[in-house]
């Protein structure tokens, strides 16, 4: 999984706090996808971004969750006022274009809510 | 609504034998399918993919078969090796629909030495 960098690898937050998850795509990739994996489940699509644009956010919860991919810097997945149900592994993937092709994943951020 | 189903949660095979991992899908708009392998505490690693215009794709020890009429695909690993022990996810996408992947729940493969 070298190439797609996610940090932090582990994040612990108390209920009501904010969580910020970062993703730097592979070099040359301008398309970023965020997925969430709950225990014993598969990965679920959350949001697809290009530089400075949200292309598809159909998998994002309507409240408390937001994502951005600025012109400079990593993509950020932000969760406000976290609740216990937000505990999950959050994976970022990248691809060089928006056409259907294999996406390359980072090693994820494990978010734990106390 | 589970659009990609991996109904067997686990599979155990002897080293050297064939591993067959199955996947079913319900969305007839899916036309591109992928298999990913995942070790604990790591992200998924791409293994092999197949477009709906094909019914078979082979890469070394890995072969994926697609049966469109049955909405079924399978991953064959032969010969299986202990290092293949991992969780295998089937994923599907719809060309032209922003390329987001829909994943199954995964199958845990154990290859016994």
Give a three-class secondary structure readout of chain B.
Answer: CCCEECCCCEEEEECCCCEEEEEEECCCCCCEEEEEEECCCCCCEEEEEEECCCCEEEECCEEEEEECCCCEEEEEECCCCHHHCEEEEEEEECCCCCCCCEECCCEEEEEEC
Alpha-carbon distances of B101 from B13, B58, B90, rounded to whole Å: 28, 21, 10
CB contact under 8 A, B99 and A35: no
Task: Provide, rounded to the nearest whole percent, the portion of chain A with pLDDT above 70.
Answer: 98
At A100, is the pLDDT very low, low, confident or very high (cuts 50, 70, 90)?
confident
Return left, alpha or beta for B106; rule: phi > 0 is left, psi -120 to 50 is alpha, else beta. Answer: left
As a whole number of angstroms, the distance between CA B42 and CA B55 comes to: 30
| A57-79 pLDDT per residue, tens | 999 999 999 999 998 899 999 99
Residue A112's DSSP bridge partners are A12
Mutate one of B51, B93, B99, B106 to test the A interface: name it (highest A CB count within 10 A): B99
Q: What are phi and psi of B14, to 5 degrees?
A: -85, 145
Mean pLDDT of chain A: 93
Output the pLDDT for position A39. 84
Mean predicted confidence (pLDDT) in A80-108: 92
Residues lower than pLDDT 50 in chain B: none
Residues B25, B92 contacting (CB under 8 angstroms)? yes
The pair of three-digit structure tokens given for residue B43, joined into one six-digit string? 């992200």
The rounded distance, in Å, linking the Cα atoms of B86 and B95 is: 28
User: Can you give the pLDDT at residue A1?
Assistant: 46
Task: Indicate the pLDDT class of residue A52, thresholds 50, 70 and 90.
Answer: confident
- Of B112, B34, B35, nearest to B80 by C-alpha is B112
Counted across chains A and B, CB pairs separated by less than 8 A come out at 70
The per-residue pLDDT for B99 is 80
- The two beta strands, A109-113 and A10-13, are parallel
* Number of residues written out for chain A: 114
Residues of A whose CB is below 8 A from B45 = 1, 105
Q: What's residue A2's pLDDT?
A: 56
What whole-number distance in Å separates Cα of residue A55 and Cα of residue A112? 28
B89, closest residue in chain A (CA to CA): A42
Nearest partner of A6 among A87, A103, A93, A70, judged by Cα: A93
Residue B20, beta-bridge partner list: B76
């Amino acid at each position: 999984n070298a190439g797609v960098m996610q940090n932090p690898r582990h994040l612990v937050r108390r209920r009501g706090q904010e969580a910020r998850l970062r993703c730097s795509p592979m070099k040359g990739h301008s398309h970023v996808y965020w997925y969430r994996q709950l225990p014993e489940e598969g990965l679920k699509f959350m949001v697809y971004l290009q530089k400075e644009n949200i292309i598809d956010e159909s998998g994002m919860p309507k409240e408390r969750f937001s994502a951005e991919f600025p012109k400079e810097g990593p993509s950020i997945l932000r969760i406000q006022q976290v609740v216990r149900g937000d505990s999950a592994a959050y994976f970022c993937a990248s691809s060089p274009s928006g056409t259907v092709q294999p996406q390359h994943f980072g090693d994820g951020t494990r978010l734990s809510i106390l | 609504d589970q659009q990609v189903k991996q109904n067997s949660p686990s599979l155990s095979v002897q080293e050297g034998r064939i591993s067959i991992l199955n996947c079913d899908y319900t969305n007839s708009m899916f036309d591109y399918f992928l298999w990913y392998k995942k070790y604990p505490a790591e992200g998924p690693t791409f293994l092999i993919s197949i477009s709906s215009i094909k019914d078979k794709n082979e890469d070394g020890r890995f072969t994926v078969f697609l049966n469109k009429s049955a909405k079924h695909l399978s991953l064959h690993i032969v010969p299986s090796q202990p290092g293949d022990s991992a969780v295998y996810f089937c994923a599907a996408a719809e060309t032209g629909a922003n390329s987001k992947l829909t994943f199954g729940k995964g199958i845990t493969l154990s290859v016994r030495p």
